[in-house]
Chains A and B, each alone.
Chain A
Amino acid sequence: MIKKILVLVFISLQFACGGNQDLIQVAESDRPLFGKIKFWEIEQLSDQLYAFRYTFYRNIILIGDDGIIVTDPLTPEAASILNDELKKISDKPIKYVAYSHSHWDHVSGGQVFKDQGATFVAHQQCLQNWLENPSNNVVKPDQVFANEYTIDVGNSALEMYYFGPSHDNCRVVFLTQPDRYIFIADDANPPNGMNMIYGAGLADTYIFNLVPFFKEAESLARKKRARGVIGSHMSFENEPMNLVTGTVGSVKVIKEQRKFYELVIKEVKRAIDQGIAPDLIPEYLIEKGALRERIIGFDEDKMRVLYRRMTNYLLTGE
């Protein structure tokens, strides 16, 4: 009986810690980025799933019997490195490139995969964005979709879900199969969704749908019994300068990210309801110490910008 309980506790911990399986480092750069963290590295999460971190960015790679799916090529240099390393890992062809959203800092450099005949897949609104403002470094998608799309390469698949505009107007949630990891570009980075965010001005963010977006992602995680989240960016633990690569974390990071935005909106709304003049709200909330203890790595300058952005949102709906 005790043995059974211990097994259950172990399994629960596995889920709580995002699967907590050992990440196998497959390759890394000689060049350092920060301290012991290298400029780039490739980690293996399972027989079918790999993660490639290049500077502060990360993408995922799925290898199936029928070929390879690469996500977000990042930059021409990153894509070239990844291409070289993938040749060492597998002899399968690179058949697909899947885009998480339209921002160039994640999706540049795909030409090296296009030259090998890969099919590029993105949400339909991403294509619209690239037509409005093209980049020579971004390969336009061959296949677009509206709500859901699955790329299947045999014993491995990438499911893509669109839950409306959020960060960018075409960001999708990736779910890997059969390993059941979730990847949400630019948000929900392990180890904690309550970490201070990078871009407090929320540029190109559709705030009105942020909370519903994360609720949908949480629901997906429950329904599909996701075992963890893979971070699209390096992050920090406990304090901003304690950088960690943040490859894998618990699915609770998604809920934490939702709470982060909900709490900020709630504080600003309360200030508006109390009759604080909109221009004074950021300073009022800073002086009050709002969220100082809740947000990890609370940064006053960034919070001023974030409070101002949320004030604008609550007054205008955008």
Chain B
Amino acid sequence: MLRIRFNSFSLLVYIGLGLSFNLVYANSTSFEEVNGQVVIFKNLQQQGLIITGEQRSVVIDPINQDTAQEIKSYLSSNNKSEITDIVYSHSHWDRITGGKIFGASNPNIIAQKNCGLYFSGIQNKKVVDPTVYFDQIYEINIGEEIIKLHYFGPSHGECMLVAELEKSKLLFIPDLISTQGASFPTDPTLPFLRPSTLNAFFDSLIELITSKQIDYFISGHETDIALGPTEIVSQQKIFWELIQDMAITAEEEGLVDLNNFIAIEKMDLEGIKQYENYNEGDLVNILRRYTSFLNMGR
């Protein structure tokens, strides 16, 4: 199986990196300290980050108002500074509706500029509009940590960013990649995938990982283990390349029907079967999205 389980491995990583490993439960949100500055919180299938300093604290994806309230309590009870910056990793409401709770500290709310498309004339009253939009890169320096927000083009949705925690040498990759290994996507209809720019996204991300020698990343999914080795990024890229190659082969061999579905029983599935969460029904839907992409360019 290409999807390697990293549970015990991660524990060793924590120890190796000298990171503390404290799991604290507060109501429905749990908090997990990665190191003195970085805390993962989990709720409702999602997870986000808090990065704290003497003067400033940053939250990436405040999930919802209940979670935000629990984050506030957590910071207060642990004598950490209140939230001064909120980062929206992308535009999806299921990650970002908690911003209002931090209103009293008048935080900056930061998002990549393409998110504006989804926030203009906002249909969800619980989402607070960003106050800062950036294009390619944005830096938040809280002293104890430097957070660099990178935009590598449309990937999962139009505006997903990757957060680099420079001093901790960690990445936060909100979606597309699991810390548990390269795998099939959870939703085979691929509602938010941008195939036309996906390779460029992975290439830029891998370049960042290589140039900054970053060994570990944190994902945005609650079910994932805390840290995953960054080599998973390259493995996940290979998964999508394999999918695209299969769609091209199916087109070339005339296996695509009028409804754009592929007769996968006539295809060699050995390579793809190795990935975690493989099932034939999902593969049919995933390949259909890719045959559409090959036809449309989008």
Binding site for B on A (CB under 8 A): 102-105, 129-130, 132-133, 135, 138, 165, 168, 198-199, 201-204, 206, 208, 305, 308-309, 312-313, 315-318
| Contact (Cβ within 8 A) B292 A203 | yes
Let me know if A305 and B285 touch, CB within 8 A. yes
Complex interface: chain B residues within 8 A of A202 (CB): 191
- Contacts A203-B292, A308-B191 supplied; 7 other A-B pairs, CB < 8 Å: A103-B295, A135-B297, A201-B285, A203-B190, A204-B292, A312-B189, A312-B191
> Is the CB of B187 closer than 8 A to any CB of chain A?
yes
Q: Which of A105, A133, A165, A318 contacts B196 (CB 8 A)?
A: A133
Given the complex, which residues of B lie within 8 Å of A206, measured CB to CB?
117
Cross-chain contact B298 with A201 (CB below 8 angstroms) = no
Contacts of B91 in A (CB 8 A): 316-318
Set of chain A residues within 8 Å of B92, measured between Cβ atoms: 315-318
**A-chain residues with CB within 8 Å of residue B123 when the two chains form the complex:** 208, 317
What is the bound-complex CA distance between A137 and B92, given in angstroms? Answer: 35
Binary interface encoding of chain B residues 233-274 relative to chain A, with 1 for a CB under 8 A from any of its CBs, else 0: 000000000000000000000000001100000000000000
Is the Cβ of B190 less than 8 Å from the Cβ of A129?
Answer: no
Q: Which residue of B lies closest to A199 (CB)?
A: B292
Q: How far is the CB of B53 from chain A (nearest CB, A)?
A: 31
CB-CB under 8 A for A318 and B297, given A198-B259, A201-B288? no
Given known contacts A198-B259, A203-B289, A316-B94, A309 and B189 CB-to-CB distance under 8 angstroms = yes
Name B200's closest neighbour in chain A (CB-CB). Answer: A132
Complex-state Cα separation, A253 to B268, whole angstroms? 43
Whether a CB of chain A sits under 8 angstroms from the CB of B15 is no
Q: Which residues of B contact A315 (CB under 8 A)?
A: 92-94
Going nearest first, the 4 A-B pairs with the smallest beta carbon separation are A316-B92, A103-B296, A133-B196, A104-B297
Q: Which residue of A has the minimal Cβ distance to B45?
A: A278
Instruction: Point out the residue from A308, A309, A317 that lies within 8 Å of B118, measured CB to CB.
Output: A317
Closest B residue, CB atoms, query A282:
B189
Q: In the complex the two chains form, is A133's CB within 8 Å of B298's CB? A: yes
B197 at the A/B interface (Cβ < 8 Å)? yes
Query: Is B296's CB under 8 angstroms from A204's CB?
Result: yes
Give every chain B residue within 8 A of A199 (Cβ-Cβ): 260, 292
Instruction: Give A168 to B158 CA distance when docked, in angstroms.
Output: 12
Q: How far is the CA of A34 from the CA of B183 in the complex (A)?
A: 41
| A-B pairs with beta carbons under 8 Å apart, 15 shown | A103-B296, A129-B196, A129-B297, A130-B297, A132-B197, A135-B297, A203-B289, A203-B298, A204-B296, A206-B117, A308-B191, A312-B192, A317-B92, A317-B123, A317-B124
Q: Which residues of chain B have C-beta atoms less than 8 A from A105's C-beta? A: 295-296
Shortest C-beta distance, A141 to chain B (Å), equals 15
* Chain B nearest Cβ from A146, distance in angstroms: 15
Q: How far is the CB of B25 from chain A (nearest CB, A)?
A: 23
CA distance A206 to B192 in the complex (A): 10
- Residue from A130, A198, A318 in contact with B192 in the complex, judged by beta carbons closer than 8 Å: A318
**Contact status B293-A203, CB under 8 Å:** yes
Q: Is B116 an interface residue (CB 8 A)?
A: no
Q: Is B157's beta carbon under 8 Å from chain A? A: yes
Contact B94 A129 (CB under 8 A): no
Question: What's the Cα separation between A103 and B191 when bound, in Å?
Answer: 17
A54, chain B: closest CB distance, angstroms: 14
**Contact status B296-A203, CB under 8 Å:** yes
**Nearest CB of B to A234, in Å:** 11
Contact yes or no, A208 B118, CB < 8 A? yes
CA distance A165 to B260 in the complex (A): 24
Taking A318-B118, A318-B192 as contacts, is the C-beta distance between A104 and B296 under 8 angstroms?
A: yes
Residues of B within 8 A of A104 (CB): 295-297
Q: B94, B191, B295: which has the most chain A beta carbons within 10 Å?
A: B191
B189: contacting residue among A132, A198, A305, CB under 8 A: A305
Rounded to whole Å, the gap between the CB of A261 and the closest CB of chain B is 15
A138 contacts which chain B residues (CB < 8 A)? 297
With A and B bound together, what is the CA distance between A130 and B288 in angstroms? Answer: 22
B157: nearest residue on chain A (CB-CB)?
A318
Chain A residues contacting B118 (CB-CB under 8 Å) are 208, 317-318
CB-CB < 8 A to A132: which residues of B? 153, 196-197
- Given the complex of chains A and B, what is the CA–CA distance between A37 and B9 in angstroms? 63
- Using Cβ atoms and an 8 Å threshold, which residues of chain A touch B292? 199, 201, 203-204
Docked pose: A133 CA to B294 CA in angstroms = 11
Please measure, in the bound complex, the distance between the C-alpha atom of A178 and the C-alpha atom of B92, giving whole angstroms.
44
Is B117's CB under 8 angstroms from A201's CB? no
Q: Do the beta carbons of A309 and B191 come within 8 Å of each other?
A: yes
Q: Are A165 and B117 in contact (CB under 8 A)?
A: yes
Provide the bound-state CA to CA distance between A308 and B196, in Å. Answer: 23
Given known A104-B296, A135-B297, A318-B118, contact A201–B190 (CB-CB < 8 A): yes
CB A305 to nearest CB in B, in angstroms, measures: 6
Give A209 to B285 CA distance when docked, in angstroms. Answer: 25
- Contact residues in A for B127 (Cβ distance below 8 Å): 317
Cα(A288)–Cα(B292), bound, Å: 30
Shortest Cβ distance from residue A103 to the other chain B in the assembled complex, whole angstroms: 4
- Which residue of chain B has its CB nearest to the CB of A312? B191
